[in-house]
Amino acid sequence: MSRRFKQKTRGNASKRKRSTVFIAAEGHNRTERNYFKGFIARHKNLALRMVPDSSTDPVRMAESLGDFMEESGFSSLDGDLAFCLIDHDCNPAKDDQIRQALKIAQDRGFHIILSNPCFELWFICHFTSTPKNYASSKEVLKDIIHYLPGYGKSDEDLFMRTESHLPEAIENAKKLEKRCLESGYTLPGYGFSPSTEVYRMTELMIVVNSR
């Protein structure tokens, strides 16, 4: 049986409140935390909450995000958003786990954001719409330094270094998705690669920030 949490409104409805963006990311999530911390700093009507969980299992990540939203007073009425960022790693064994995570997301009201092989492909999309057909996350990490010299997972300036190319990143990610679809691949299949849905969450956050 799915659990639904109550919608809460914060404070006086006439006073503008910042919408909270809840994010679950894999492992110690330094890259995602640093990038979205920079993103939020540029979008003053948003606040960031990262799920305090280091799991890499898609189902566990989805469950943790749903619980964290409930505990933290998530409210779609206040424009809150929630995203679970999953790296597919070109791994067919993850297909079923991701399907389960998608079901949890549907039941509990948040978005699954898939990247294949990994989140770092999003950075490459800032510079090209024709990346390599990566066979693993390691190949992406090896290639990324050609676009972002000195790149490191602990880099706190990731958003600042890529911000000027954000419109290109969104369009290039859409092109990758279209290419996969035209080739007959479907989500969440491991063959849907290279691709990243991070553009979807950035577009949603930009819309909510502008309200």
Q: At what angle do helices 58-72 and 94-108 cross, to 10 degrees?
A: 20
Q: Quickly tell me which residue has 């294949």 as its tokens.
A: 116
Which stretches of the chain drop beneath a pLDDT of 70?
A: 1-16
The C-alpha atoms of residue 43 and residue 79 are separated, in whole angstroms, by 14
What is the structure's pLDDT at 152? 86
The C-alpha atoms of residue 83 and residue 60 are separated, in whole angstroms, by 14
Per-chain mean pLDDT for the chain? 91
pTM to 2 decimal places: 0.90
Percent of the chain with pLDDT over 70: 92
What is the structure's pLDDT at 118? 96
DSSP letter, residue 92: T
What is the structure's pLDDT at 14? 40
Q: What is the largest CA-CA distance in the chain?
A: 51
The C-alpha atoms of residue 119 and residue 195 are separated, in whole angstroms, by 9
The C-alpha atoms of residue 145 and residue 152 are separated, in whole angstroms, by 9
The C-alpha atoms of residue 153 and residue 5 are separated, in whole angstroms, by 34
What is the structure's pLDDT at 176? 96
- Whether the Cβ atoms of residue 188 and residue 103 lie closer than 8 Å to each other: no
What is the structure's pLDDT at 6? 46
What is the structure's pLDDT at 5? 47
- Whether the Cβ atoms of residue 110 and residue 66 lie closer than 8 Å to each other: yes
